[in-house]
Structure 1
Amino acid sequence: MMVTSKDADDELLQTFVALHNHAWEDDSYGNPPILNALFVVKQGEITGLVPLN
């Protein structure tokens, strides 16, 4: 699991999404793909979903 703040600067957010996409496309990790999306969490609760398709 990777976590970052949505308030991070654009460069960090772009890096975060690029790392997610790399992990999503690289099956050498041995983990089955589950969901190509980002969860939005506020105060410890999932409040939304951002699809990355």
Structure 2
Amino acid sequence: MNKLLLIILAILLPPIAVFLKAGAGKHLIINIILCLFFYVPGIIHSLYVVTR
């Protein structure tokens, strides 16, 4: 998938970007938990997963 599209998606909808990049695993669960409590750490985590 296009990396630029994933970065934009990581800012707007972090769990979906993590799911598309890493699949349904530990990173997705971590990102959902981060997004539930605080939205900004979820964005940071999704950008980390997408760009690594």
Common fold by TM > 0.5: no
Report which of the two has the higher share of helix. 2
In our comparison, the structure showing a higher alpha carbon Rg is 1
Name the TM-score, length of structure 2 as normaliser.
0.33
- Structure with the bigger RCO (C-alpha within 8 Å, sep 6+) is 2
